[in-house]
Amino acid sequence: MAPEKDAEPTSRFTDQVTAENKFQANDESIPALIGTLANAGLSLPLTLFLADSLSRLRSDTVKTIKHSGPLGDFQVVDVSQFPTEDKLSRADYMSVYNVFLKFIAETCGPLTARGFALHYNLILSEPDLEMWFPAYLCFDQQLCSQFFTRPFIIDPSSSEYQGALNKARQTQLKRENEQLRSLTAASSAPPSRSGHGGRYPTQPQHERAPPRSPYERKEMLCFWCGRLGHGALSCSETTPSRHSRQCVIRCDAKGLFRLSDGQAVCFTHNLGHKCKGKGVNQALHICTLCSDPEHGAAKCTRN
């Protein structure tokens, strides 16, 4: 005679059920839907790691869609239900990245997790993070998008990493300059006469002036020729600012490179900031105007 099976619990609140659980003041678990999204080869918006987003994902009431990934078909969360990453403030970014790093540590191998930690530490070490935050956010999006499509180990000291980061900074500078030019053009246009009885409005001049920006063109130093008013990427000069000086670098969309051997040159160092990057493939800490390793172009006295 077959032994009788234990009867199934008739209530969710029997001792047998409750003994398997415990009180948690804060639920710090990473919802399974996030792991499913990653396994499907889709990038994880950092906004998924906001407290409100995690709560919604844990409730399992979010909309999902079917997606065919490298490991098969998945029912993944529809990320359009959540805020976009460009809405993240600097404080929120730092908060969610710690949760993201926890997910990476639980999901990936130690070398991969270490790469992400080094990447985050490099961002935190930026002395002017508030100024450069849009560039770092854009760069981080690019990095994560590639990682979840084709996983790799992040090496912040590599020339590829430094080049992509420099490009993100140059893109931010270009965008800021375009915005500034638009503001300048708008402020210099004659005001409309309509609604003012045929008179120009008596608005003080200082109220119509565009706000100053650290990216104003006249303050920008070209790392190639040494002149002010433009960046190296858009430089059309054929000679250095000093005729006795030889050009040291070339510049393209990937970054700054020494002419003699093609080695990457550090953008951060030449802005006059301290760079903590290390390693064999670390971009060179030399002045783009005179090759001196003791200073960057922003502090060069030979220009």
3-state secondary structure the chain: CCCCCCCCCCCCCCHHHHCCCCCCCCCCCCCHHHHHHHHCCCCCCHHHHCHHHHHHHHHCCCCEEEEEECCEEEEEECHHHCCCHHHCCHHHHHHHHHHHHHHHHHHCCHHHHHHHHHHHHHHHCCCCHHHHHHHHHHHHHHHHHHHHHCCCCCCCCCHHHHHHHHHHHHHHHHHHHHHHHHHHHHHHCCCCCCCCCCCCCCCCHHHHCCCCCCCCHHHCECCCCCCECCCHHHCCCCCCCCCCCCCCEEEECCEEEECCCCCEECHHHHCCCCCCCCCCCCCECCCCCCCCCCCCHHHCCCC
Higher-pLDDT residue of 82 and 184 is 82
Q: What is the per-residue pLDDT for 141?
A: 93
88: left (phi over 0), alpha (psi -120 to 50) or beta: beta
Residue with tokens 């893109």: 171
Q: What is the mean pLDDT of residues 198-205?
A: 44
Of 81, 104, 89, the residue nearest 30 (C-alpha): 104
Residue 6 scores a pLDDT above 80: no
Q: What is the per-residue pLDDT for 1?
A: 53
Longest dimension (CA), the chain: 105
Cβ-based neighbours of 78, under 8 Å, separated by 6 or more? 62, 63, 64, 65
pLDDT exceeding 70 applies to what percent of the chain?
80
User: pLDDT category, 283, cuts 50, 70, 90?
Assistant: confident
Q: What is the per-residue pLDDT for 199?
A: 42
Higher-pLDDT residue of 71 and 32 is 32
Q: What is the mean pLDDT of residues 174-195?
A: 65
User: In whole angstroms, what is the distance from residue 128 CA to residue 296 CA?
Assistant: 16
Residue positions counted in the chain: 303
User: In whole angstroms, what is the distance from residue 141 CA to residue 123 CA?
Assistant: 13
Please provide the average confidence, as pLDDT, over all residues in the chain. 80
User: pLDDT category, 280, cuts 50, 70, 90?
Assistant: low
Higher-pLDDT residue of 183 and 178 is 178
CA angle centred on 264, ends 261 and 267, rounded to 5°: 140
Beta bridge partners of 208: none
